[in-house]
């Protein structure tokens, strides 16, 4: 696979694309030739900076604000992307929150908000782009999960549930969309050097990983690009965790 042009003439939408893993994924897709829509909810300046970086590198991108846990905003976002860039060929459901809560501290509001942002948003965005992907007979969907989907994690049970649900959503869509030329996979990052991981970094967990360090957002971007470039890969969750599965 030639990663420099595998997505030429394709349009990609990355939710939560203004920073961290989302920004790295957006840059990787742009580097492979895609025109990229960078979704954000509150971080307008950072989304604009991500777009500017892509444009400086010779790519095409726009920033699109939307709360992807709200159907009306998702539909408006999709319409704008289609109007300015074209129909969405690649969807990366990356938007998420990670509010640390102990078992005795978590509230119903915490639980509902986490599932809405981390899980419901993937459902809404997928449903919004499916008609176009089906019409063209080609689509790639990647959901950004977490090691917390299959382990205890350090965030809380609400986060565990949202990411485990995301992997179930991945398998369900993959089984039903393969015949339409659409692949659906999940990426399961371990500890990655982002703002969200700061509390966990301070715990010294990196010292216990076989590779002896935490991951970088760019390494997740590379893994997402690999998934998108492989039309025979669907319904899978790929763990990118520095050997953390061996612990």
**What is the set of active-site residues?**
159
Largest CA distance in the chain: 50
In whole angstroms, give the CA distance from residue 165 to residue 115.
9
SS3 labels along 133-171 = HHHHCCEEEEEECCHHHCCCCCCCHHHHHHHHHHHHHHH
| Inter-CA distances, 115 with 26, 36, 71, Å | 24, 26, 14
Query: Please, how many CA atoms are within 13 Å of residue 236, restricted to the half-sphere of its CB?
Result: 15
Specify the residue for token string 């790639």. Answer: 140
Nearest partner of 151 among 102, 118, 192, 190, judged by Cα:
190
Nearest partner of 26 among 45, 57, 50, 44, judged by Cα:
50
Nearest partner of 86 among 5, 26, 23, 12, judged by Cα:
12
Specify the residue for token string 């419901």. Answer: 120
């Amino acid at each position: 696979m030639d990663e420099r042009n595998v997505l030429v003439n394709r349009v990609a939408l990355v939710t939560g694309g203004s920073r961290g893993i989302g920004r790295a994924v957006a840059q990787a897709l742009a580097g492979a030739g895609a025109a990229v829509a960078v979704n954000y909810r509150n971080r307008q300046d950072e989304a604009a900076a991500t777009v500017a970086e892509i444009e400086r590198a010779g790519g095409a991108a726009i920033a699109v604000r939307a709360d992807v846990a709200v159907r009306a905003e998702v539909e408006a976002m999709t319409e704008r992307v289609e109007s300015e860039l074209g129909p969405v060929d690649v969807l990366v459901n990356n938007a998420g929150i990670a509010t640390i809560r102990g078992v005795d501290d978590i509230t119903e509001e915490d639980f509902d908000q986490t599932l809405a942002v981390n899980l419901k948003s993937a459902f809404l965005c997928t449903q919004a782009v499916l008609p176009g992907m089906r019409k063209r007979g080609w689509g790639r969907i990647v959901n950004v999960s977490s090691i917390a989907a299959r382990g205890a994690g350090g965030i809380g049970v609400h986060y565990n549930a949202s990411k485990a649900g995301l992997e179930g959503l991945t398998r369900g869509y993959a089984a039903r969309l393969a015949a339409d030329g659409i692949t659906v996979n999940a990426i399961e990052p371990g500890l990655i050097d982002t703002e969200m991981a700061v509390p966990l970094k301070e715990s010294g967990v990196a010292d216990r990983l076989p590779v002896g360090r935490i991951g970088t957002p760019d390494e997740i971007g590379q893994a997402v690009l690999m998934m998108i470039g492989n039309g025979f890969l669907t319904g899978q969750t790929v763990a990118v965790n520095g050997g953390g599965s061996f612990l």
